[in-house]
A = this chain, B = another copy of it.
Amino acid sequence: MNSIIFQPIGVIHSPHKKLEQIPIQPVFARGIQGTIDIFPEFYEGLADLDQFSHIYLFFHFHESNQTKLRLKPYLQDKLRGIFATRAPHRPNKLGMSLVKLTKIEDGTLFIEDVDILDSTPLLDIKPFIKRFDIQENVRSGWQDAVTDAEAAERGYRDYAKKPKS
Identical subunits present: 2
Residues of B within 8 A of A69 (CB): 42, 44-45
Are A141 and B127 in contact, with the CB atoms below 8 A? Answer: yes
Q: Which of A14-22, A46-54, A156-164 lies at the interface?
A: A46-54
CB distance from A163 to the nearest CB of B (A): 28
Q: How many chain A residues have a CB neighbour from B under 8 Å?
A: 70
Is A94 interfacial (CB-CB < 8 Å)? yes
A70-117 residues with Cβ-Cβ distance < 8 A to B are 70, 79-86, 90-94, 96, 98
Hey, which bits of chain A sit against chain B, CB under 8 A?
A: 1-9, 11, 25-27, 42, 44-56, 58, 60, 69-70, 79-86, 90-94, 96, 98, 121, 123-135, 137-144, 148, 151
